[in-house]
A and B are shown apart, each in its own frame.
Chain A
Amino acid sequence: MRLLLQFSRRFLYRHPGQLLLALTGIAAGVAVVTGVLLLRDVLLGTLDDASSALSGRDVVRIETPSGTLDEAAFVQLAAHPSAPDLVPVLNTRVRIGNEPFELLGLDPFSLADGGPMRVSGPATGALLGQGHAALVSPRTLASLQRSIGEAVTVRHAGQDLTVTLIGTVDGGPALDNRLIMDLAAAQDLLGRRGELSWMEIDAGQVERLETAIPDGLRLSRSETRRDSAARLTQGMRSNLTALSLLALLVGLFVVYSAFSFLLVQRQGQIGMLRAVGVTPGQLIRLLSIETLMLAGLGGLIGLAAGLLLSEALLGLVRAPLAELYGLVAGRSLNPSLMMLGLIWLATLMLALISVAGLLKRALAIPPGQLSRQEDAAGGVRGWRPFLPVMALLLVGSGLILLSESLPAALAALFLLLAACALLVPVVGLWLLGALARLSQRRLLGRALGMLQSARQRLSPALAALSLALGLSAGIAMMVLGFRASVDDWVDRLLRAPVYLTAQSGIIDQGVVDAVQDWPEVAELSSARERTLNDGRRLIAYDLPEAAWAGFDWLAPTDGADFAAFREGRGVLASEAMARRHDLAIGQAVDLVGPDGVQSFPLLGIYRDYASDRGALALDAGMYRRWFDDHQRDSLGLYFQPGVTAIETGRLDSLPGRFQLTRREQVREQTMAVFDRTFRITWALAVLVAIIAVIALTSALLALGLERRRDYATLRALGLPPAGLSRWVVSQTLGLAAVAAVLAIPISLLIHSVLSLVIQPRAFGWSVAFSLPWQVWLLLLPVALVSGLLAGLYPARVISRRDPAPMLRARA
């Protein structure tokens, strides 16, 4: 055995390129899977948002639906006879540079040991009497590139605030990107005297307080919060899940491809070993050991690369998480040894399985055969190969049609892709054959014709390549299509030329009246958002006729009753809201207000991509009367005829700091957020494309190298080295072109399923289907470049070799 192992070693030493390619292939596959899985993990971890991560699982929060409570409630509860330890918390999202942070104001003395929070009291006690001082985790300090005693500029509600970092506090990744401040300093800094965000209490102790909780406050358990956060980010997670499944699929093909390539390389060697008396058992052991070592090492490299990759990807997810869902993700990942171990073991298993299939072929090599025999000739053998394809297609389509759930759609997508993977080699080889027949007389035709005999070798490579290319293209098309829908929607929705928002202060009736009096202004629209007691979002609109026209009504109606809405005789629902709550037009919708429940008929369902939670819309006049809330979040300013801008200086007359934003700016900002949200998707698409190129290159290299004997024959028949190079390159280019062509229907399938099935199920909104076919134009060049790259090396090697020894191998 030792001798045999030395034999393998010598082979790999003599072919370092192949060793490298095999390791790269395995590592790339493992890296993508690891990276995406870790990222998903972080996303789930983020759902145990800020303080529940700080405090551990078993914590109950006392809060109000509005998210703000009076600190008097804390005093009342804390002094309640035998009150358990309560932790008052004031939190807000801020930014340092471009990074999202959470600022947490805490009372260090409520953090006594054994209390509900994991941050230790003595550590935070240092905050007292220090003014606007904060503690951060050591990792955050390092990432901010600050040292203790230095100040950072924190952006909050349009203002720059200065906070001094006076120390570090260790609480694991849960404290990353969090600024821990004393409650007094936080209230002062944020101008929120008297306010808390919530109070925390140990779940085991909550029973004693339940009866004492003042009206208007509610208890929320960490699992409920986790659930609701989970619902919030469901769309994003399912996106990632879909992508990780697809990456896994491609990764598997790459690993398989890497091994089958190595084996093909060594056909001659194996034949020789058999000839000198090595038994099949010994051969199996040798190849298994080799596989395990290669897979083991490649797997480890892949795990390390995957960790680095996920750190890089994390940066892309953090901003949209904070912007869209208000969740601050930890700065780094905490991979568990268990998870890494499982991925590694899975890699070994997979390598063994893929080699088992190949072993069968290796053992079939007769002793003494030093070069490869032709595959059995013949085209598509009857209808049998189509059976599993049909089955997969049927089950996949059935799943989509029969079940309304998201996991079913994801499973269906996976099945459909598996069907494609099976179908691609058959169709691909048929295409190659057709291409060969078309140019029969030319070099290209002959070169491609030769590929027909390498059916088994080509199938996985062709499938991996087409799938990977199709996947990248499909995802890109989905994002582009969705982007077009969102852009249309924003364009249609933004009717007013200018919008007014508050940087500090509030837009109250006084501000509205003042703005109304500006001579440039003809009409005002306004919006005010409120989260109802049951968690639903309600938006109160003041809508002039011009703004009403901005709503894009969804079937079954072409419009809604404007008069009824303006008179407060009904509500509107966004598509996501209607879908999530199964609302139909005309149906009564109950809203819980301060003085009880009121029922409104649903007047219309409108297109809305603002939030996948969805929203209900009510006339603002009705809202103000009912909720006695006279503030607005934003105003839309409609100009008098002939006016194009508001005179500068008008804002100075308003009490507080306000900002005017032009319609185009709002649109740009919206699209910027959109693009940030989908950066992760793009990154994954590019990643998959890179893997596709690696897979293609390795497969084509293998092909080129294994057919040395045929090339030697061609040389012997008089084909000059340059001609041979052209021969080899036209083979790889032909394969790449076929893969690119096959990727087109696959990308269309992926785009359709993602846009038409997965998006509505994950986010609750539908997307107008569009066909950004420009993506396809990119497919062919990408494939051809990698085909060219993959062909050049073997062409060079082969055309330089002396054909005689190769020919002698045909014994």
Chain B
Amino acid sequence: MKRDVLILSLLVAILAGWLVWQTREPATPTGQLSLGNVLGGSGEGFRRVTGPVPFEFPRDHGSHPEYQNEWWYFVGNLAAPTGERFGFQFTLFRFALDSGPALDSDWQTDQVWMAHLAMSDASGGRFFQQERFARGALGLAGATDKRWWLRDWSVEATDQGWQLDLQTDDFGLELDLALTRPLVFQGDAGYSRKGPDRGNASRYYSATRLAASGRLRTEPRGLNGQWVEVDGLAWLDREWGSGQLADDVSGWDWFSLQLDDGRDLMVYRLRHPDGSATRFSAGALVAADGQTARILGHEDFRSTPLRWWRDDQGIRWPLAWRIELADEGIDWQVDAVFDQQRWTASVPYWEGMVTVREYQQPEIIGRGYMELSGYAD
């Protein structure tokens, strides 16, 4: 009897198991990219940056499709008359692919564009983000010396600088940005080395202080009266190259700081997988009058994380830093204005507004933006 029950149960179990297996729902895979991978690439088959070449403006504001990747990077701190503070980031990325065989189609392209638009509402602690992709065909996305765009997100060149018109369902931004000081050419006259190989480099220039004015909204479109007038300071980074990053770089910590006394500081720390800085970390310090910039090598500054924040996926991000430039007498503390300014779209990174204070002092002496990448890998 026992044996029968056993055999019967086994038979039933096998049948039931098979039936249940037949009814299973297929799993849907999800995938995230790493910013290092997106902006890296071997550079093989593309033109590479191997030494300083004089910039030609306005032509160099437009895209350089012969290089593997390129970006147009705006960040800024804004304030409303009521004292509310906001931050924004708008980045246009361009990636070149192997072109493949010729196809009889207007959709054929070897250029892919990605745009990131984010807004931080400091008083509400809210972080808005939207990501878009488009192929570089049919005029869906592109960058000329006059206009940089992806679908209806656009940056138009003006006499003073640029005009941004960036709208989404949930938030939007209309800003005029005016150049207030000369462009800074990073590295050796814009030849910015990122690794031991001569080709591990990019061409890199910055507009470190743009006067920003315009309006923004943090409410869904269509509601009346939600636009907020704002002004403040913005920053533009322009960079392009092929295979910039050496294999031993696992991420970077990048700071753009605008001091109330007129100085601007940009430093980035390229990290080895063990967390230590590579010798190609670099930066630039713009003097208070805006007319001279000192290019910094890795030995000129030190950046040390002070506080770590764990996001809801368990990833730890260093959100407070001590930045020291000993021979400039700089010993500053940089703090995230609020923690939740992390990108959760296809590329995980942290990019948000920060305050600058003298180390361990209460008074805010400047504001800026910080970008942390490579922590989620």
Contact = CB atoms under 8 A, between A and B. Distances in A.
Contacts of A303: 15, 19
B12 interface: yes
B221 interface: yes
Given A82-B168, A300-B15, A337 B23 contact: yes
> Considering residues A9, A125, A300, which has the most beta carbons from chain B within 10 angstroms of its beta carbon?
A300
Nearest to B132: A112
Nearest to A335: B23
Interface stretch (A116-124, A272-280, A510-518, A673-681): A116-124
Contacts, number: 141
A129 B346 contact: no
B19 A307 contact: yes
A171 B28 CA distance: 7
A188 B132 CA distance: 26
A285 B33 CA distance: 63
Interface stretch (B66-74, B106-114, B296-304, B313-321): B106-114
Contacts of B152: 79-83
A120 B30 CA distance: 8
Interface string A303-343: 11001000000000000000000000000001111001000
Interface stretch (A179-187, A464-472, A736-744): A179-187
A124 B278 CA distance: 35
B99 A129 contact: yes
A71 B106 contact: yes
B131 A112 contact: yes
B346 A113 contact: yes
Interface string A77-93: 01111111100000000
B375 interface: no
Given A128-B97, A300-B19, A184 B109 contact: yes
Interface string B105-147: 1111110110000000000000000011111011110000000
A130 B100 contact: yes
Contacts of B31: 120, 122-123
A337 B19 CA distance: 8
Contact of B104 (A110, A191, A205, A300): A191
Contact of A194 (B100, B106, B109): B106
Contacts of B140: 75, 78-79
Contact of B105 (A120, A172, A183, A337): A183
Contact of B103 (A5, A184, A300): A184
A575 interface: no
A704 interface: no
B363 interface: no
Q: Is the interface of B mostly helix, strand, loop or mixed?
A: loop
Interface residues of A, number: 58
B15 A128 contact: no
Contacts of B22: 307, 335
A193 B104 contact: yes
Contact of B20 (A121, A122, A337): A337
A185 B103 contact: yes
Nearest to B135: A109
Contacts of A293: 8
B11 to A, nearest CB: 7
B169 A82 contact: yes
Contacts of B25: 172, 334
A297 B29 contact: no
A245 B238 CA distance: 70
Interface in A483-501: none
B18 A304 contact: yes
Interface string B218-238: 000100000000000000000
A128 B100 contact: yes
A75 B29 contact: no
B100 A122 contact: no
Interface string A52-72: 000000000000000000010
Contact of A129 (B16, B98, B107): B98
A107 interface: yes
Place the interface of chain B in its size category: 35 or more
Contacts of A734: none
Given A83-B152, A113-B345, A300 B169 contact: no
Contacts of A182: 107
A552 interface: no
B4 interface: yes
B301 to A, nearest CB: 36
B119 to A, nearest CB: 15
B44 to A, nearest CB: 14
B326 interface: no
A131 B100 contact: yes
A301 interface: yes
Given A113-B345, A171-B28, A107 B135 contact: yes
Contacts of B98: 129
A52 B1 CA distance: 54
A170 interface: yes
B138 A75 contact: yes
A296 interface: yes
In this complex, the member of B105, B131, B135 whose beta carbon has the largest number of chain A beta carbons within 10 angstroms is B105
B133 A109 contact: yes
Contacts of B346: 112-113, 121-122
B116 to A, nearest CB: 12
B288 to A, nearest CB: 40
A211 interface: no
Contact of B101 (A9, A131, A173): A131
A806 B1 CA distance: 30
A129 B105 CA distance: 13
A98 to B, nearest CB: 26
A778 B133 CA distance: 66
A202 to B, nearest CB: 11
A83 B154 CA distance: 13
Interface-centre pick from B15, B99, B133 (highest chain A CB count, 10 A): B133
A774 interface: no
A6 interface: yes
A118 B28 contact: yes
B28 A129 contact: no
Contact of B29 (A5, A170, A184): A170
Nearest to B152: A81
B19 A304 contact: yes
Most buried by B among A79, A205, A335: A79
B167 interface: yes
Given A79-B140, A128-B97, A185-B103, A336 B26 contact: no
A168 to B, nearest CB: 10
B27 interface: yes
A193 B105 contact: yes
B310 interface: no
A417 to B, nearest CB: 31
B151 interface: yes
A84 B170 CA distance: 12
Scoring B25, B140, B221 by chain A CB atoms within 10 A of each residue's CB, the highest score goes to B140
B123 to A, nearest CB: 25
Nearest to A194: B106
A334 B152 CA distance: 41
Given A83-B152, A188-B105, A297-B8, A71 B138 contact: yes
21 contacts: A71-B138, A74-B138, A75-B138, A78-B134, A85-B132, A123-B31, A128-B135, A171-B26, A171-B28, A187-B103, A188-B108, A193-B105, A194-B106, A293-B8, A297-B8, A304-B15, A307-B22, A334-B23, A335-B19, A335-B22, A335-B23
Given A128-B110, A340-B19, 19 more contacts: A71-B107, A78-B151, A79-B151, A80-B152, A82-B169, A107-B135, A109-B112, A113-B345, A120-B28, A121-B133, A183-B107, A184-B108, A184-B137, A185-B105, A188-B103, A205-B169, A300-B16, A303-B19, A335-B22
Q: Which 6 A-B pairs have the closest CB atoms?
A: A129-B100, A109-B133, A188-B103, A184-B107, A187-B105, A184-B105
Interface of B: 1, 4, 8, 11-12, 15-16, 18-20, 22-23, 25-31, 33, 97-101, 103-110, 112-113, 131-135, 137-140, 151-152, 167-169, 172, 221, 345-346
